[in-house]
Structure 1
Amino acid sequence: MEKTWRWFGKNDKITLPMLKQIGVEGIVTALHEVPNGEIWTREKIKDLREYIESYGMRWSVVESLPVCESIKYAGEDRDELIAKYKISLKNLSLEGIHTVCYNFMPVLDWARTDLEHENENGTSNLYFSHSQFAYFDCYILKRENAEKDYSAEIMEEVEKMKVQMTAEENHKLVDTIIVKTQGFVNGNIKENDEHPVELFRQLLNLYKGVTKNQLRENLRYFLSEIMPVCDEFDMNMCVHPDDPPFSILGLPRIVTCDDDINWFLNAVDNPHNGLTFCAGSLSAGAHNNVVDLARKYASRTWFVHMRSCKVFNNGDFTEASHLGGRADLIELARIFEKQNPKLPMRVDHGPTMLGDENRGYNAGYSFLGRMFAMGQVQGILATVDRELNIN
């Protein structure tokens, strides 16, 4: 697989010369400065592409060309936004970029409750606690009837937290769930927003009454509209699984499991409608057999995120070692190398280690931790390629 790296543009503290030194072949990035819903001009795309190529790498995958909330909940301006999206797809193709990773998750791009969960060896990882998330939902966000979405065991933990949590801890939880994980990925809420919880409530209100079936139909509509452009310009659209792969905040989630993946691939049965196989997101759900999903959907996978999660008995999960967890990255490497050894792959959500935490990197996107993970995955790929006799 092509060894790629998610890079956040010219202002990223991790520079392209650094990535060239560690063997990165392809860059996964976006025009982060362009507001959501606006056209990506050919000039801006070309400028960034040529900058990447000047360091001997290529712009392999767009992650992401954001799908606006209005497209997801079918707002009045949906068709106007889709028309702009089509122009951006055409412009990307004309500049030689043919793979777009996107998501159809309402409001939240991804969710964690702890960005620096300490491991026994002194490193830290991202972590999701059901009870902490429920506390945020019930007592900070104060979503109506939120408690009905959680088990009695979780609510018992929440009531204990209600007594113990300080104002500082509440602020940190808000910052973790709806600011730090969102603001650097064309998110709806930015680091400098003064009232993030109120803004978040407003976003949730946009989805009142939107069911899972309605959200599915909105995805079908979006894909049906853009597929003619994808066919004409050879653009591979690969949806990212929901992270985590279950319903949160009363919002429907539609890319969480085998049934969901099967539905959207068949709803618009076109080879350009494909999957970003994020082994980490899928392995965060105990209901998913990640290896079986890889075997089943390898032929419709256009991009791979190599990471793995460990799920605890209560459903909480943490990022695991790239040699451990539920995903079995060794077997995934065999599956995807057999299917398409040129498939772009990036390691994802590496541990924070050896001072990464002091360098201002985006949450989940450490340098040394991801470099360590890439070394592990490179070793896996070298072994698998020898086993399969792939040069």
Structure 2
Amino acid sequence: MSKNTSQHYLYPTWRWFGPSDGVSLSEIKQAGAKGIVTALHHIPCGEVWSVEEIRQRQQTLEAAGFNWTVVESVNIHESIKIGASDRDQYIEKYQQTLRNLAKCNSRLVCYNFMPVLDWTRTQLAYPVEDGSTALRYDPTALAAFELFVLKRKGAEDQYSEQQQVAAEKYFLAMTEAEKEELQQTVLAGLPGTDEVFTPDEFNKFLERYEKVDTQQLRENLVYFLQQITPVAEEVSIKMAIHPDDPPFPILGLPRVVSTENDLQFITSQVPSPSNGITFCTGSLGGRTDNDLPGMIERLGDKIHFLHLRNVQHNADGSFHEANHLEGSTDMFAVMQAVINEQQKRVNNGRKDIAIPVRPDHGHQFQFDAERSFYPGYSGVGRLRGLAELRGLELGIRRMMQISNI
């Protein structure tokens, strides 16, 4: 790697949920982030983001010395995902939001295509070895919720007899408070909101997906991209789809953005520089069969945005979020693959070399015990993650530079 190339560092960013966020913009600046990742969470899903609203948020960020680097997320209405008769009107609104973002010089939009819920965990404060707490996914706890709290129709068909016995044992050992906490955790709504579905509300959402299997959801995603991508190209916006979290079917809902094959399919069906990927090592790392460094090597030219975090897989099928440089994902190999992709971009004359990256999630430490955060988005936990990732990046760059002298 040449000395010039070694200066093409990743662009460090930080997710901020707006004025009510528990971390202030001045604190984010001190954490070492250069750009902000945010959205207009107060605008209902499916409605147009006006130029006035976008500029107001931009002005807030610019006054604090930041740029709005990534829009995460412009959420997709459920009618688009299920292919309802009114989906085109919501797609038209989405197109207008992209045009308005472009008028304000926003050029990168992260989004996902997960049905109903943006992410699912069964525990938000799982204690880890150092005394901090982490987000955790336990398949037995989810089965207990689905079978005995949600009582989803047909759920029994999704579980073996052994799994059902384990789930019932788990459920019977829970207190009423623990059952309520599990329900609140699983049925949390969209990022940046305090919305939590009731079981009845959630079952009504599930009914809308009764005729939507994996193939149909995939076709609905391709249809969305076919309508959105020409507009994104026209206004020079890059769309970056986020993987499913967790990356496998749950609660009777299909998943279509979970594997390398999924990402290859999505980017090949509508080939365009505007149709790309948010590469999230935490979401994709939820599957042990995903080769993350290899995926970066093979899909790297489609990656517009990076979420870096780690998960620790356990023998019982559960996983929890580990420290950024620990866990089941080899973060050294991931970072090395990212830097190699940047080298390819330099060689190919691309301009988008400083890929935006953010530390995704973080443990809740005692430093932040008296503050309230959206789950996974504590201040000190992400500060530690950002510092570790920037140090890892610098170390690998220096190592690669020395080895090529």
Interval containing the TM-score (normalised by the shorter chain): over 0.9
**1:314 match:** 316
Aligned residue identity for 2:241: V
SS in 2 for 1:238: strand
- Aligned match for 1:167, one of 153, 169, 176: 176
Match status 1:350 vs 2:355: no
- Aligned match for 2:386, one of 364, 371, 374: 374
By how many angstroms is 1:28 displaced?
0.3
Whole-Å Cα distance in 1 between the matches of residues 172 and 93 of structure 2? 49
Match status 1:83 vs 2:98: no
Q: Which 4+ runs in 1 deviate beyond 4 A?
A: none
**Which aligned pairs between 1:1-391 and structure 2 lie closer than 5 A?**
1-179=10-188, 182-185=189-192, 190-191=195-196, 196-340=198-342, 341-389=353-401
Between stretches 80-89 and 163-172, larger displacement belongs to 163-172
By how many angstroms is 1:288 displaced?
1.0
Contact persistence 1:107–1:203 (CA under 8 A):
yes
**2:6 match:** none
SS in 2 for 1:365: coil
Whole-Å Cα distance in 2 between the matches of residues 282 and 325 of structure 1? 14
Higher RCO, 1 or 2 (CA under 8 Å, sep at least 6)?
A: 2
By how many angstroms is 1:110 displaced?
0.4
Contact persistence 1:291–1:331 (CA under 8 A):
yes
Unmatched runs of 5 consecutive residues or more in structure 2: 1-9, 343-352
SS in 2 for 1:155: helix
Q: 1:67 to 1:178 in 2, by over 3 A?
A: same
Contact persistence 1:291–1:327 (CA under 8 A):
no
SS in 2 for 1:259: helix
By how many angstroms is 1:358 displaced?
3.0
By how many angstroms is 1:167 displaced?
1.8
Aligned residue identity for 1:245: P
| Aligned-pair identity (%) | 38
Whole-Å Cα distance in 1 between the matches of residues 321 and 22 of structure 2? 23
SS in 2 for 1:358: coil
Contact persistence 2:118–2:191 (CA under 8 A):
no
Between stretches 78-87 and 15-24, larger displacement belongs to 15-24
Unmatched runs of 5 consecutive residues or more in structure 1: none
Aligned residue identity for 2:67: R
TM-score by length of 2: 0.91
Q: Deviations over 1:206-249 (max 9, x none)?
A: 10111111000000000000111111111111111000010001
Query: What is the CA RMSD across the aligned residues, in angstroms?
Result: 1.5
SS in 1 for 2:18: coil
By how many angstroms is 1:183 displaced?
4.4
**2:348 match:** none
Whole-Å Cα distance in 1 between the matches of residues 94 and 320 of structure 2? 34
